[in-house]
Amino acid sequence: MNDIFLNRAARPIQKLVAYDPGHDLPRLRERFGDIIVELGSNENGWGTSPKAVEAVVKAARDSFRYPDPLGLGLRARLADKHDCSEEEIVLGNGSHELLMQLAQVFAEPGDEVIYSRYGFAVYPIGTRAVGATGIAVDPFPRDHAMPLGTDLSQIPKAITERTKIIFVANPNNPTGTHFRIEDLKALLQQVPKHIPVVVDEAYTEFANAEGLESAISLRREFANLVVSRTFSKAYGLAGLRVGYLVAHREVCELINRLRESFNVNLLGLAAAEAALDDHEHLARVREGVLTQRARIAEALTQLGFFVFPSQTNFLLVDFHRRAQPIEDALFERAVIVRPMVPYGLPNCLRITVGNPAETDRLIASLIEAKDAA
């Protein structure tokens, strides 16, 4: 970049490193064609609800019109789903946008933002973008029942008078680990009421662990609780970019001051409403993920790798040595996974739980890759 412009950018932006989306998948699709197996972005291997597809086709006829800037129809549906008011819901261009906006609303240079050391990359990016300081709390150790999982007990110890917002994910990306609702409640009881606690539930539809419940059940008890969700994963709408959060109406009003007027497009609004109605498709996706997740975990464990416990539609896998050669070998077989070097986990790969055919290819390719690498 030309230093003429770099030196004139806002100071936080000068030091900011952009979010890394992984491989250039459009180019890889051109290279590999139909044989590609995309297991690097935690997308839905069972696809989009047919009802959502139908709604998109119908809505496309009005694409010359602007979408509803307030997303009233979808917000009404979500308010009914979560037993809250429409004023307690904000829609986003994916939950990614909302997480960034929460940092913009509540933090500025000199402030501190707390998150887990192995949490979603957007938390530190949003923090740095506003010039705040990120405080990464240590996770559980490797020998814990929830290795590298978010240790909520460490968060109160990190709070200072400069703390402005806290980010946690349940289940967590990229580790796949989770925490119990009782532990979250214990944390909220210790956090000062003026500090928002954001619980990112992007993968909550895939969870089946005992004690893992949505934080939305605690929202009336804790006004500083913010819960973010997405339609990108279980609902299969990653390409349409629809997310939302549930929070105190004052928090929502502040975000709406910053939110772009038409941040969720016409097709996304229509698809999300229709997807909420297709309970059968969601059930098929969930059942498929749980079945294939167990199958992959067992196969990889038998191969001698360490598979982190997961409540998501992906698995974090430790290969006990640098994972780059194995990733390269998978890549040559058109199986695309996600390296974890940016997270400081060079021995690990994050692997999306795909459909049965994708699982077949993954396991066969890993057997070959293990021997070739």
Say what the pLDDT of residue 372 is: 63
Say what the pLDDT of residue 35 is: 81
- pLDDT per residue over 205-238, tens digit each? 999 999 899 999 999 999 999 999 999 999 999 9
327: Cβ contacts below 8 Å, ≥ 6 apart: 337, 339, 349
Say what the pLDDT of residue 283 is: 97
Contact 203, 173 (CB under 8 A): yes
* Architecture of the CATH domain 21-48+280-372: Alpha-Beta Complex (3.90)
Say what the pLDDT of residue 329 is: 94
Judged against a pLDDT cut of 60, whether residue 1 lies above it is answered with no
Measuring CA to CA, which residue among 260, 264, 262, 261 is closest to residue 240?
264
Average pLDDT over residues 109-132: 95
Average pLDDT over residues 76-85: 96
Domain boundaries, the chain: 21-48+280-372, 50-277
Q: Which one has a higher pLDDT value, 197 or 3? A: 197
Q: Which long-range contacts (CB under 8 A, 24 or more apart) does 51-55 make?
A: 51/274, 51/275, 51/277, 51/278, 51/281, 52/235, 52/236, 52/237, 52/270, 52/271, 52/272, 52/274, 52/275, 52/278, 53/271, 54/274, 55/270, 55/271, 55/273, 55/274
- pLDDT per residue over 312-323, tens digit each? 999 999 999 999
Sign of CA dihedral 198, 292, 299, 34: negative
Domain 50-277 = CATH 3.40.640.10: yes
Distance of CA 119 to the CA centre of its chain: 10
Q: Which one has a higher pLDDT value, 20 or 117? A: 117
End-to-end, the C-alpha distance of the chain in Å comes to 36
Say what the pLDDT of residue 292 is: 98
Judged against a pLDDT cut of 80, whether residue 132 lies above it is answered with yes
Q: pLDDT band for position 175 (50/70/90)?
A: very high
Q: pLDDT band for position 120 (50/70/90)?
A: very high
**What percent of the chain lies above the pLDDT cut of 90?**
87
**Which residues lie across from 348 on neighbouring strands?**
318
Say what the pLDDT of residue 335 is: 95
Geometric angle at alpha carbon 316, from 315 and 321, rounded to 5°: 140
Q: Which one has a higher pLDDT value, 338 or 34? A: 338
DSSP annotation of 63: T
Say what the pLDDT of residue 90 is: 97
Lowest-confidence segment of 73-87, 199-213, 359-373 by average pLDDT: 359-373
Judged against a pLDDT cut of 90, whether residue 197 lies above it is answered with yes
**What percent of the chain lies above the pLDDT cut of 70?**
99
Q: pLDDT band for position 199 (50/70/90)?
A: very high
Q: pLDDT band for position 168 (50/70/90)?
A: very high
- pLDDT per residue over 19-65, tens digit each? 777 777 778 777 777 788 899 999 999 999 999 999 999 999 999 99
Say what the pLDDT of residue 6 is: 82
Average pLDDT over residues 353-367: 96
* Integer Cα distance of 26 and 10 in angstroms: 32
Judged against a pLDDT cut of 60, whether residue 18 lies above it is answered with yes
Averaged pLDDT score across all residues of the chain: 94
